Amino acid sequence: MCGIVAYVGPKDAAPILLEGLQRLEYRGYDSAGLAVVNGKSLKMRKVKGRVADLAEAVPARFKGACGIGHTRWATHGVPSDVNAHPHLDGEGRIAVVHNGIIENADALRQRLEGEGVTFESETDTEVLCHLIARTVKETDSLDDAVRRALKSVVGTYGIAVVDAQRPGEIVVARNGSPIVLGIGEKEMFAASDVAALVRYTRQVVHLEDGELAVLRADGFHTFTSDARETAKEPFTVDWDTGHYDNGGYEHYLLKEISEQPDTVARTLRGRIDDRFHIAHLGGLNMDARETRSFRRVKIIGCGSAYYSGQIGAQLIEELARIPADAEPASEFRYRNPVVEPDTLYVAISQSGETYDTLAAVQELKRKGGRVLGIVNTVGSAIARECDGGLYLHAGPEVSVASTKAFTSTAVSFALLALHLARVRDLSPADGRRICEGLRRLPEQIEQILKLDEQIKTLAEKYAQAPSMMFVGRVRGYPVAREGAQKLKEISYVHAEAYPASELKHGPLALINPDMPTVAIVPDDELLDKNLTTLGEIRARSGRILMIGHRTADAADDCVVVPKNETELDPILLTIPLQLFAYHAAVALGRDVDRPRNLAKSVTVE
């Protein structure tokens, strides 16, 4: 959620840090700051607000070739200049930026205050800073001081630290919050996200939990919290700055919605085998015998990733006839789950860094579970932790609300379901039907995107409603949930999703002319049941916007999308809901790409 950038090399750090922070702004954004070391003095600026406000606050002459920067999403203490990072010790010698949460911050603060330390801010980070400042006086090395100080800390962190007494040196550490090193020509970078690095280098190294690194212009070395050196293999990132530009669109969200014909094609590329009508998924690291051995599939993820997992569970159950279900990773990890040897676990994450999902994967691994990852960010923590998996290849997703990663995840599940199904009972003919359906998706998404004007008009009409209901049956239900999620996330219109069949068991009481319903009504075996539900809503004077494959008299408005194979239709039915939420948010004047209170990647508990 918060963003970290660090630089050491021959150039002035401040412009590099500001540029990096701008690229990270989507992760967290209530305040920003930076500190540079020049000679043996530390200069620092921080402000409540956006990176642009920080850029204005940094004077033209802000020399220093070694520095750290931060964008903050408040956890401890309100957004304010004082609570913004970096935090300094009392003498202005040590500066720290931090992502994560220090759980024993209150106890440490009391102890330090008892020893005469005065605190400036309400943050947990300042505790870290004073701890390091005390330790650095006892040892001659900053990395040793950071390592020792962290020993008394309970919680999660990604941190970057500079010491005015050691210009040209940055120490970073990771525990639960990502830190990536970027290797340049006689310069080194570090960040919480590769987005901040790709303008300067594609050679990166991910730190593991419990690992620290010292960065100098001429290189880096890494070690564990027990001071044991570790060996790291750099890898090349294939995303460049172009992937992070808004491509002339007014919002990243619209760009990412519009990219879906391409991103879905990329997820499918090289993965469909027309000879046997199977999916080629080399990254699963499982042979046919093992693939056959699973008797159950359990899918975990958070937010939209979880909803795409629900689509995935239905695909797996329908095609492979293996019992499958999805659960929020955040719930799963706290309920001491029973981990079975014949269950295949699948973790989903766009960022690959969501803390709840990562912690759930770690719990599964600890109990001997077999975990696959469906992840967008190559080399991310969840991808590294899993036994195998599929990358989405959707390119970076910048807007907070997930769109292209959602569809690519659902497509990945179709591939995984096909794979699991074709080593079981799915016939070659049905395999071929699914393969052909998958190939039609990009073109059909293109057709749905052409409905933009119609959906915009509808969104403007319905956006004025104080509250909306989203309903769908079986395959349509996760689509309804994701539709409601998109709308509430970015337009702040209250939206509830319900299985259409459950409507009469409670929420029907809410239906009135002020509570319109978005109904997901595919042409499948449940069509008649869904049309009956529309009649029930209509009878209570409820307005209806139907998303489906035909029009219906009971609906006030209909968006008709192209039909694919019944199992794959949920993927296409999602796209109009993305456009609907987008246009509703624009009509209401919302900050579409940066909705209030939310962050793109939640790397804290």
Q: Rounded to a whole number, what is the distance in angstroms from the first to the last CA of the chain?
A: 11
Contact 2, 196 (CB under 8 A): no
Contacts of 342 (CB under 8 A, 6+ apart): 293, 294, 295, 296
Q: State in angstroms the smallest separation of the CB of 358 from ligand G6P.
A: 9
Asked if 598 interacts with ligand G6P (CB under 6 A), we say yes
Helix locations, 492-517, DSSP H: none
Among 305, 311, 346, 417, binds ligand G6P (CB under 6 A): 305
Q: DSSP class of residue 55?
A: H
Residues binding ligand G6P: number (CB under 6 A): 16
Q: Is 75 in the site for ligand G6P (CB under 6 A)?
A: no
Nearest-approach distance from CB 406 to ligand G6P, in angstroms: 8
Q: Pick from 201, 314, 351, 408: which binds ligand G6P (CB under 6 A)? A: 351
How far apart CA 379 and CA 227 sit, in angstroms, is 24
Q: Which of 71, 135, 156, 304 binds ligand G6P (CB under 6 A)?
A: 304
In order, the DSSP letters of 427-441 are -HHHHHHHHHHHHHH
Q: How far is the CB of 303 from ligand G6P (least distance, A)?
A: 3
372 forms part of the interface with ligand G6P (CB under 6 A)? no
Choose which of 401, 417, 426, 495 interacts with ligand G6P (CB under 6 A).
401
If one counts every other C-beta atom within 10 angstroms of the C-beta of residue 32, the result is 32
Rounded to the nearest 10 degrees, the angle between the axes of helix 105-114 and helix 125-136 is: 50
Chain residues 563-582 in contact with ligand G6P, contact rule CB under 6 A: none
Nearest approach in angstroms of CB 382 to ligand G6P is: 8
Out of 43, 298, 488, 600, the active site residue is: 600
The region of 257-265, 395-403, 461-469, 562-570 touching ligand G6P under the rule CB under 6 A is 395-403
Which residue lies nearer to ligand G6P by CB, 419 or 600?
Answer: 600
Comparing CA positions, the residue from 271, 272, 247 lying closest to residue 259 is 247
Q: Which of 256, 191, 228, 185 is nearest to 22 (CA)?
A: 191
Q: Between 83 and 601, name the residue whose CB sits nearer to ligand G6P.
A: 601
Judged by CB under 6 A, the residue of 123, 330, 350, 412 near ligand G6P is 350
What minimum distance in Å lies between the beta carbon of 191 and ligand G6P? 17
Annotate 517-548 with b (16+ C-beta within 10 A) or e (fewer). Answer: bbbbbbebebbeebbebbeebbeeebbbbbbb
Distances (CA, A) of 14 to 48, 170, 241, 490: 18, 15, 19, 33
Interaction of residue 310 with ligand G6P, rule CB under 6 A:
no
SS3 169: coil
Contact assessment for residue 221 and residue 229, using Cβ atoms and an 8 Å cutoff: yes
C-alpha–C-alpha distance, residues 146 and 393, integer Å: 37
Tokens of 400: 């907070």
Instruction: Give the interface segment with ligand G6P, choosing from 506-514, 528-536, 565-573, 593-601 (CB under 6 A).
Output: 593-601
Quick one: which of 131, 191, 326, 400 contacts ligand G6P (CB under 6 A)? 400
Closest CB to ligand G6P: residue number? 303
Q: Is residue 402 part of the contact set for ligand G6P (CB under 6 A)?
A: yes
Q: Is the dihedral of CA 303, 307, 310, 316 positive or negative?
A: negative
Distance CA 451, CA 453 (A): 6
CB 254 within 8 A of CB 246: no
Instruction: Give the integer Cα–Cα distance in Å for 517 and 487.
Output: 13
Nearer to ligand G6P, 302 or 568 (CB): 302
CA distance 66 to 14: 9
Nearest residue to 592 (alpha-carbon basis) of 487, 482, 511: 487
Q: Closer CB to ligand G6P, residue 34 or residue 416?
A: 416
Using the minimum distance from each CB to ligand G6P, give the nearer residue, 136 or 302. Answer: 302
Residue 601 interacts with ligand G6P (CB under 6 A): yes or no: yes
For residue 141, which amino acid is it?
A: S
Tell whether residue 303 is a contact of ligand G6P (CB under 6 A). Answer: yes
Angle in degrees, 0-180, between the axes of helices 404-422 and 569-587, rounded to the nearest 10: 170
Nearer to ligand G6P, 349 or 517 (CB): 349
Residue closer to ligand G6P (CB basis): 178 or 431:
178
Looking up tokens 């569970």 gives: 313
Q: Which is nearer to ligand G6P, 303 or 369 (CB)?
A: 303
> In the bound complex, what is the minimum distance in angstroms from residue 273's beta carbon to ligand G6P?
28
Supply the minimum distance, in Å, between the C-beta of residue 162 and ligand G6P. Answer: 29
Query: Of the residues 2, 66, 129, 386, which is catalytic?
Result: 2
Closer residue to ligand G6P in complex, CB, 129/599: 599
For ligand G6P, the binding residues in 263-302 under the rule CB under 6 A are: 302
Residue 408 binds ligand G6P, judged by CB under 6 A: no
Q: Which is nearer to ligand G6P, 34 or 313 (CB)?
A: 313
Q: How far is the CB of 230 from ligand G6P (least distance, A)?
A: 26
Is residue 2 annotated as a catalytic residue, yes or no? yes
Query: Three-class SS of residue 299?
Result: strand
Cβ at position 260, least distance to ligand G6P in Å: 16
The reply on whether position 349 binds ligand G6P by CB under 6 A is yes
Q: How far apart are CA 20 and CA 24, in angstroms?
A: 6
Q: Using the rule CB under 6 A, is 357 a contact of ligand G6P?
A: yes
**Cβ 170 to ligand G6P shortest distance, Å:** 27
Q: What is d(CA 592, CA 588) in angstroms, rounded to the nearest whole number?
A: 10
| Strand-pair partners of 7 | 67, 189
Q: Which is nearer to ligand G6P, 351 or 517 (CB)?
A: 351
Distance, in Å, from the CA atom of 102 to the CA atom of 106, rounded to the nearest integer, reads 9
Q: Does the active-site annotation cover 129?
A: no
Instruction: Work out how close the CB of 302 gets to ligand G6P at its nearest, in angstroms, rounded to a whole number.
Output: 4
**Which amino acids are annotated catalytic?**
2, 600
Binding site for ligand G6P (CB under 6 A): 302-305, 349-351, 354, 357, 400-402, 598, 600-602
